[in-house]
Amino acid sequence: MTRVGIGLGSNVGDGRAELQSAIDMLRLRHRLLRVSSLFRTAPVGPIEQPDFTNAAVLIETEAGPAELLAELHEIERSRGRDRSSEVRFGPRALDLDILIWDELAVEDEALTIPHPRLAERRFALEPLIEVWPGASLPNGTRLLDLWTGVVDQSVQKIEGPTWL
């Protein structure tokens, strides 16, 4: 079994309910170890849209990276997301990202692990650190050491980790 940190986000509909539904689906196939607090964050990108509700989970899985990615995309589809017709960085009911996978590094057309913009985004880094405070990137950089680079970004904790 390997540990995987997954980021969750939603800014269409009831974000809390969307994240809860995704977590319920994940726990059907994987061991859910921890769930972060809920955070409200401003969207990234040039499109005017509502704020996001964000969280992270730490799971243990026997799935491989490609298999888990396909599962995350299926969960998104089941909640109404159509990646083929959406605008990049636009509004979405559900966004699920593999952020970090034990010490694994992957870089191909379909998937990059760790997430390529993890170190730049407090909305992903903060909940991930909450569920996996001792995690490091494959190069040995501790997630906690990346914190100073994003501390100026606005992220508001809206509910503690017992929200689920």
Domain boundaries, the chain: 2-159
Instruction: Report, as residue numbers or ranges, the catalytic residues.
Output: 81, 92, 95, 97
Strand partners, 66: none
Percent of the chain at pLDDT exceeding 70: 98
Taking the C-alpha atoms of residue 150 and residue 134, their distance in angstroms, rounded to an integer, is 18
R_g of the chain computed on alpha carbons: 15
Q: What is the pLDDT of residue 44?
A: 80
Architecture, CATH, for domain 2-159: 2-Layer Sandwich (3.30)
pLDDT digits (tens, 9 = 90+) for 72-96: 999 999 988 777 777 676 678 899 9
CA distance 24 to 38: 16
| DSSP β-bridge partners for residue 38 | 159
Provide DSSP, 71-83.
HHHHHHHHTT--T
Each residue of 114-157: pLDDT tens digit?
A: 999 999 999 999 999 999 999 999 999 999 999 999 999 999 99
The structure's pTM equals 0.95
